[in-house]
Amino acid sequence: MPKLLSLALDILMLLYADDIVLLSRSAVSLRAKLKILEDYCTLNDLTVNTEKTKVMPCRSSGRVKKGDKDFIYKGSSLEIVKPYTYLGVPFNISAHGGSPITSAIRKGKQASGTGLNSCYMEKLEIAHLYFYKHLLNIPACTPNYVLRLELNLSHISLEIFKAAFSWVIKILDMNQDSLPKICFIRLIALSKVGPDKPNWIHHLKKILQTIDEVNILDTLSLNHWKLNKEKIINKYQEFLRNLDLERYTHSSACQIILYRNPSDGLPSYLQFCSQRLIVPMIQLRLANLFTCNISVDKSVIKLQPKQTCRYCHNNEAETVKHFLLDCPFFYIPRLSHLQLAEELGPRMNLALILDHQSPTNLKSLHHFLRDSVKLINQDV
């Protein structure tokens, strides 16, 4: 926002449907704006509901100053509030942004606790991974499986499955006449009849079936569930990881398929290098067939693999491979920083650049990208 605004330009108000937010830097200015609003509404025969109109002073100290009081609209005194929820987002007097974040986290936790239904789990997964895509400036169309593999992230369904498993153990530890236990036994019986009615046991059963462990539902012994918890959760984790690996190996959306081992943890470069070096490496390793952003310091190189290269005009697709290995436009930076590529010539492949994760290699790549940006800017 500060980049968009200057001293000569400011946001006076926010309008959404029939809601207005007046923004002011001082109490005096707000009173003047309220008077203008009053005149405008009188002229246009509009009414403001003063019962619903609130004034929220914003101060980093979190305290309301004496002068931040007595705001009048058409003779009615407006209520001063410290927290206020606007369009579902809570704000508070300190305006540090803690309230919206806490609220978003709480809603996320509530959502992840709503059930095991696979279509809702996919929606949660999209929201979960969107955070990483946004943070790393990775296109939204990047497949989720490759992002999970690269960052060694669990699928959200694993977290929900763990919570459901622990909840079953808790229920089994309850007395026979406790309401959760009565409901649980009834839900198990209903799940055998059919999946027509909403029933979380049915979704738990589906997960257990995928890993061939559905028989555990026939044994409602606390000890049996406790003893098998770790084994079954690990089995589901492995199942999900293998599923991601399978989809990645046969991906029709990723530009580059690197060799990945089922037991691979977090790639080493993510553990030892600075964010400045990490981000472009991730963006290149996860490049998809539609678009690719490469963040280099404060610039971004955008590659459009579906189009022909706009730098060399050689009728070659603008892929990561063409950019890193072949494009003559980037010959000089390649020669200076990716000598490996030049020495190996046709034997060179992307894995040697993108899977060689030493800090030295990442620095060389960064220097190549930095000089490539300079070339692009000179050419504009």
330 lies in the binding site for Zn ion (CB under 5 A): no
168 lies in the binding site for Zn ion (CB under 5 A): no
Sign, Cα dihedral of 141, 147, 149, 155: negative
Residues whose CB falls within 8 Å of the CB of residue 151, separated by 6 or more in sequence, listed in order? 132, 266, 270
Q: Segment contacting Zn ion (CB under 5 A): 211-219, 283-291, 301-309, 332-340?
A: 301-309
71 lies in the binding site for Zn ion (CB under 5 A): no
Contact 32, 73 (CB under 8 A): no
Q: 373 is written with which tokens?
A: 């940006």
User: Could you give the CA distance from residue 227 to residue 229 in angstroms, rounded to a whole number?
Assistant: 6
Nearest CB to Zn ion, comparing residues 311 and 368: 311
Contact 277, 270 (CB under 8 A): no
> Closest approach of Cβ 372 to Zn ion, in Å?
11
Nearest CB to Zn ion, comparing residues 277 and 312: 312
309 lies in the binding site for Zn ion (CB under 5 A): yes
Residues whose CB falls within 8 Å of the CB of residue 216, separated by 6 or more in sequence, listed in order? 208, 224, 225, 228, 232
- Write out the binding residues for Zn ion, residues 222-261 only, by CB under 5 A: none
> Closest approach of Cβ 195 to Zn ion, in Å?
54
Nearest CB to Zn ion, comparing residues 56 and 325: 325
22 lies in the binding site for Zn ion (CB under 5 A): no
Query: Hey, what amino acid is at 319?
Result: T
Nearest CB to Zn ion, comparing residues 269 and 311: 311
Nearest CB to Zn ion, comparing residues 328 and 359: 328
**Exposed / middle / buried, residue 355 (Cβ in 10 Å: 0-12, 13-18, 19+):** middle
Nearest CB to Zn ion, comparing residues 45 and 379: 379
User: Could you give the CA distance from residue 114 to residue 218 in angstroms, rounded to a whole number?
Assistant: 24
Q: Segment contacting Zn ion (CB under 5 A): 3-11, 128-136, 160-168, 302-310?
A: 302-310
Residues of this chain that bind Zn ion (CB under 5 A): 309, 311-312, 327
